[in-house]
DNA sequence: ATGTTC
């Protein structure tokens, strides 16, 4: 690989149609562990209509495209690729703020974790939180979080605090297979497994008092974050369209450096159908986080009836969207990357217009999480993108080999974190030592200016699959 | 991430 250092935390790697740009430190660039992930972002530069191939400091190996990657294509000559989005379409995170302080909830912490665990089905194959018909699921596909609010899962004021108000279009459920519908029916309002979690957190440190105030964040405040996606519904849609593209677009895809980069021209009917189906899954995920967030809010209010609980923001970090930069219509794939819009961006709701978009970066289980704010610089340098999380360094299998359930549980207990987890395996796979240090990731995006630190939150309690 | 190996 032909790598050039452009700035302290910016590297360029010689690509085919464009050069790949990687925002990270020298250590990661040199680390053999990240070599495959760097090769993956270089592979993306071979794709038709590529405008930019970027990687964030939380880059790691993924299906075709690296996680922590941004693939930008011309909407006219370019492509849309399921691997650039990920199997968990619209995996994302929402952060709810409360009027409570750590001191107030401390005596009830265990009870609160238990109440949340009881309110939200978790784990592999979790189901049965709500019963919806196929007809209703079609509405969820089209209306997303708006459907949830209209049906009693939350309040109207939640919607402007969700990226794209929790409703993307075009989203035609006719483009979704019946198999995806079957899987999606009884998984609404369930958390799932893997790195998904619900976490009770405490605001430990404020970096930017002015923006923190605009966001309603104060030191010692209790916050709750929900990290999940579109469950089996999105997974099936990704699987279906990868198969369709293999069957129907073999000739178009014959020259790819990696078969997993399979794609469809964005303007081709298959590209348009995948885009529409992907938006259905994205809307399902927005509804899912809205419903889970509301269930968590209700569980908290049962224990603390006079508390206030409100949504700060909800972001998607596995998605492709049509966005315009320099009067050019582009298809921006963010796979393990968060949108980062600066002040006055017209896509922002008025309540955040003066300061910029809240950017939510969850850490791994047992480590810190961050609230940052979007920047104009990100709009100029990274097509409005920043990092999404800590970034895995140790594979799931390796984690299971080297750690035990008791070990991980003890480690969390020693930090004073209350944990409830359905599966022992999940807890080990998600152990803190399997992830890169989130503080380092956040430091780099802050230094480069892709988003600015506002607050650091630490975990108090965690519910996992 | 995932009815955790289509």
Q: Do A227 and A362 touch, CB atoms closer than 8 A?
A: yes
For a pLDDT cut of 70, what percent of chain A falls above it? 100
A184/B6 CA-to-C1' distance in Å: 19
Task: Report the pLDDT averaged over residues A156-177.
Answer: 98
Domain extents in chain A: 3-464
DSSP state letter for A435: B
pLDDT at residue A364, rounded to an integer = 87
Query: Two tokens at A401?
Result: 């080999």
**Nearest-angstrom CA–CA distance, A180 and A462:** 30
Strand B close residues, chain A 117-136, CB < 7 angstroms: 123-125
- Please tell me whether any atom of strand B lies within 7 Å of the Cβ of A464: no
**CATH number of this structure's domain A3-464, picked from the four choices 3.20.20.100, 3.30.300.30, 3.90.1860.10, 3.40.50.300:** 3.90.1860.10
More confident residue, A394 or A347: A347
Q: Is A382 helix (H, G, I), strand (E, B) or coil?
A: coil
Q: Which residue gives the smallest C-alpha to C1' distance to B3?
A: A125
Q: Which residues pair with A298 in a beta bridge?
A: none
Average pLDDT over residues A265-275: 98
Does nucleic acid strand B have an atom less than 7 angstroms from the CB of A153? no
Q: Does the CB of A216 sit below 7 A from strand B?
A: no
Average pLDDT over residues A403-414: 91
Give the pLDDT of residue A298.
Answer: 97
- The per-residue pLDDT of chain A, averaged, comes to 96
Distance between CA A313 and CA A309 in Å, rounded?
Answer: 12
User: Residue A137 has which token pair?
Assistant: 């699921």
User: Which residue approaches B6 most closely, CA to C1'?
Assistant: A239
Q: Which residues contact A214 (CB under 8 A, 6 or more apart)?
A: A352, A354, A355
**pLDDT grade, residue A441 (50/70/90)?**
very high
Residue A75 makes CB contacts below 8 A (sequence gap 6+) with A266, A267, A322, A329, A330, A331
Would you state the pLDDT for residue A391? 83
The verdict on whether A388 is a catalytic residue reads yes
A181 CB neighbours strand B below 7 A: no
Does pLDDT of A393 surpass 90? Answer: no
pLDDT at residue A392, rounded to an integer = 86
A231 touches strand B (CB under 7 A): yes
Q: Which nucleotide is nearest to A87 (CA to C1')?
A: B1
Residue A126's nearest CA partner among A461, A421, A428 is A421
CA-derived radius of gyration, chain A? 21
Q: Which residue has the tokens 């966001």?
A: A215
Q: What is the mean pLDDT of residues A81-96?
A: 98
Region A379-395 average pLDDT: 93
DSSP H helical segments within A17-66, as ranges?
Answer: 26-30, 35-44
Residue tagged 């969820």 (tokens): A140
Residue whose structure tokens are 């990290």: A227
Percent of chain A with pLDDT over 90: 92
């Amino acid at each position: 690989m032909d790598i050039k250092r452009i700035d302290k935390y910016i590297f360029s790697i010689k690509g085919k149609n464009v050069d790949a740009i990687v925002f990270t430190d020298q250590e990661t660039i040199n680390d053999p562990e990240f070599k495959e992930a760097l090769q993956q972002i270089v592979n993306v530069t071979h794709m038709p209509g590529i405008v930019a191939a970027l990687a964030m400091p939380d880059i790691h190996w993924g299906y075709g495209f690296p996680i922590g990657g941004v693939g930008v294509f011309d909407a006219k000559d370019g492509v849309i690729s399921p691997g650039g989005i990920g199997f968990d379409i619209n995996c994302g995170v929402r952060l709810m703020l409360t009027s409570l302080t750590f001191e107030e909830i401390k005596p009830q912490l265990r009870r609160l974790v238990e109440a949340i665990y009881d309110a939200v089905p978790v784990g592999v194959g979790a189901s049965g939180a709500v019963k919806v018909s196929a007809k209703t699921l079609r509405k969820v596909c089209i209306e997303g979080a708006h459907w949830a609010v209209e049906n009693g899962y939350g309040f109207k004021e939640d919607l402007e605090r969700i990226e794209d108000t929790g409703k993307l279009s075009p989203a035609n459920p006719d483009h979704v297979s019946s198999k995806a519908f079957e899987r999606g029916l009884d998984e609404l309002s369930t958390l799932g497994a893997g790195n998904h979690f619900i976490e009770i957190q405490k605001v430990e440190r404020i970096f930017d008092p002015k923006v923190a105030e605009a966001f309603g964040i104060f030191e010692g405040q209790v916050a709750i974050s929900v990290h999940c996606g579109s469950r089996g519904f999105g997974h099936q849609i990704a699987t279906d369209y990868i198969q369709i593209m293999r069957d129907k677009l073999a000739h178009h895809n014959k020259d790819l450096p990696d078969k997993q980069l399979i794609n469809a021209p964005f303007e081709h009917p298959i590209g348009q159908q995948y885009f529409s189906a992907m938006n259905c899954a994205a809307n399902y995920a927005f509804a899912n986080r809205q419903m889970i967030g509301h269930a968590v809010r209700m569980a908290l209010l049962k224990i603390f009836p006079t508390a206030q609980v409100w949504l700060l923001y909800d972001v998607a970090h596995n998605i492709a969207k049509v966005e315009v930069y320099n009067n050019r219509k582009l298809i921006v794939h963010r796979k393990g990357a968060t949108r980062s819009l600066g002040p006055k961006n017209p896509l922002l709701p008025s309540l955040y217009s003066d300061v910029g978009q809240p950017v939510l970066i969850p850490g791994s289980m047992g480590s810190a999480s961050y609230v940052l704010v979007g920047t104009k610089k990100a709009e100029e340098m990274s097509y409005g993108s920043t990092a999404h999380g800590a970034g895995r360094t140790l594979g799931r299998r390796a984690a299971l080999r080297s750690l035990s359930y008791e070990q991980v549980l003890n480690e969390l207990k020693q930090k004073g974190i209350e944990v409830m987890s359905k599966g022992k395996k999940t807890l080990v796979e998600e152990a803190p030592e399997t992830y890169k240090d989130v503080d380092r990731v956040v430091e780099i995006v802050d230094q480069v200016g892709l988003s600015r630190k506002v607050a650091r939150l630490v975990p108090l309690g965690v519910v996992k699959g």
